Amino acid sequence: MPSKTQWRQFFKVLDKKEKIIFLVFFVSSIVSGAFLSVNFYFENTEIRPALGGKFIEGVIGYPRFINPIYSETSDVDRDLVELIFSGLMKYGENGQVVTDLAGDYKILEQGRIYEFKLRDDIFWHDGKKLSSDDVIFTIKIIQNPEIKSPLLPNWLGVEVEKIDELGVRFKLKEPYSAFPERATVKIIPEHVWKDVLPKNFPLVLFNLKPIGTGPYQFKDLYRDEKGEISSLGLTLNKKYFGKIPKISQFFFKFFNSEEKLVEAANLGEVNGLNSAQFIASPKFQEYRFLLPRYFAVFFNPKNSKVLAEKGVREALNYGTDKNELLEKALNNRGQIVNSPLLPEIYELKFPSKIYEFDLQKAKEILDKAGFVEKNGKRLKSIKKTPAFQFKINLKQGSEGKEVEELQKCLAQDKEVYPLGKIDGRFDATTDRAVSRFQEKYNIAGEKGKVLEKTRKKLNEVCFSAEEEIIPLRFSLFTVKQQWLRETAFLLKKQWENLGAEVEVKTLDIKDLEGNIIKSRNYEALLFGEVLGQIPDPFPFWHSSQREFGLNLSDYKNQKADELLELGRTELSPEVRSQKYEELQEVIIEDAPALFLYNPDYLYFAASDIKGLRGGLIADT
């Protein structure tokens, strides 16, 4: 190696050109070395989340029942239940139904029996061990009508019995392919709830201070000066049997309006929120998730003469510009839907027929259906057959209802029947009145008798067919929510181009469900339906579900019923898909509803939160 003296002499022996070349190579070597070092670091270093930290989620509403038995009717309660409780099965990262509390399960007797074996390493948050008794207790509590659980219809007719301390058996009346998804219901601890009377179930403290087996356990809750719950804290269940979450503390902050939730997000008071009004900023990242659901306009033929006509329903389908709805109501955050079976999610063949926007075709269908356009409105004229018509021959000596109606008819003309006596007996006075009627209308050959020609004229004069004018008019109900309200008024505007008159009515979700949907007191309803990860459209389209189920279009089709019954009992996914592909063709042809779109589920998380990914999720 050169000495220090020699290094000092180095630049003296180089000319100008050689110095430049040396400097270029020297700098290049430094840069290359730095690049290789950095590259080596990133190629051999994996960034992983550290255990710890806290996450604050903002939600609209307040918890009431952090209890799987009751939580189904509240989004707030359901969110908390998902973190605190576990079910026999759960939704995996790819949307499939996988085991959770159950280590494995068996399907027996062609789907009539399901046997689950619980894991042996699961404990409740209070330290007690989970057993099959907890599962049996939970299902029987749901099945108890005194408890009034909204989950009761899902478990009617299901027998549950103990195999051993970790084994439980379910017996179904008939095969049900989607039962594994039904088994995602969360389990509650028997030792906590067994002494609570059914009438007291909604009142006990454990509804707000729950004990579960999930990844998080209850820590505390805080109330504001009005006594309302303002926030609730969860802490990591370090004995959780599954994959331990990295975030050690989870807090929920509750707001009574979306405006206040958005304001809190902008102030940095929450780390995550679901909101259609929030606008992403550098501090937040937007994530879009796909749910197995759709929104549609359900037509109720029982309450609307015009919507009872298939031609009208088809015309409304063709007269709807779904692209405009997606753009203006959802800001293109969603997908257009043309089938109730969501083939893009369940990997079914797409339907051979869809109602693409065609205003001219829609108008032609209405013309064919008899709805004529007058001054921008469409009307249909229908001649109503009179309640009574003369059908038999009458002569002097006849008696009864026909004679009485004859006398009433003749008495309308004083010149024909001046006496106007109505007693149901065809006497000489009535005979003369009939003769005068025949002379007035030049009816020959039937003097004094009511025969074919006289009957025809009597029916024409006294019981002429009434004309009923039916306007293309109906009301449209929906939820008082910004994007649904905007959708409803866009539909109103589009359908007015067809000559329809539409009255939009918006209500809070509770009022709509309790006062309108439950009693089927609507003509058209803009509403959403959520399907499971294992498709089972039976509740939405089977004729047995028209009055008290989720069949919102009062739909009845024998072929559709057969396919729905076969689909839910078929264990083979391939055969089940064939049945549902055929079913969607039947439903679309009948046009009982107008399928619109599937909005993205929007979630905003603080930019420093990592690891979130968009994709398909289940709405449990």
Average pLDDT of the chain, as a whole number: 90
**Residue 375, SS3?**
coil
Signed CA dihedral, 611, 615, 616, 617: sign only: positive
Dihedral sign for Cα atoms in the order 304, 585, 535, 337: negative
Which is higher by pLDDT, 155 or 12? Answer: 155
pLDDT of residue 533: 84
β-pair type (501-507, 229-236): unpaired
Q: The whole model's pTM is what?
A: 0.78
- Output the CA–CA distances (angstroms, integers) from residue 115 to 137, 140, 166, in the order listed: 16, 17, 11
| Secondary structure class of 51 (helix, strand, coil) | coil
pLDDT tens per residue across span 427-454:
999 999 999 999 999 999 999 999 999 9
Predicted pLDDT of residue 147: 94
Q: Token pair of 525, please?
A: 């309803």
Does 247 or 7 have the greater pLDDT score? 247
The string over 367-393, giving b where at least 16 C-beta atoms fall within 10 Å of a residue's C-beta and e elsewhere, is eebebeeeeeebbbeeeeeeeeebeee
When computed from its CA atoms, the radius of gyration of the chain, rounded to whole angstroms, is: 37
What is the pLDDT, as a whole number, of residue 531?
87
Q: Residues 180, 97: contact at Cβ < 8 Å?
A: yes
pLDDT tens digits along 201-212: 999 999 999 999
Separation between Cα atoms, residue 510 and residue 529, nearest integer Å: 16
Position 246 confidence tier, pLDDT thresholds 50, 70, 90: confident
* Parallel/antiparallel/unpaired status of strands 272-273 and 54-60: parallel
Specify the pLDDT at position 36.
76
CA dist., res. 68 & res. 185, Å (int):
7
Does 538 score more than 50 pLDDT?
Answer: yes
Give, as one character, the DSSP assignment of residue 236: E
pLDDT tens per residue across span 254-290:
998 889 999 999 999 999 998 877 877 788 998 888 8
pLDDT tens digits, residue range 119-148? 999 999 999 999 999 999 999 999 999 999
Q: Is-contact 400 388, C-beta < 8 A? A: no
With cut-offs at 50, 70 and 90, classify the pLDDT of residue 5: low
Judged against a pLDDT cut of 80, whether residue 619 lies above it is answered with: no
Alpha-carbon distance values, 9 to 13, 17, 409, 437 (Å): 7, 17, 137, 143
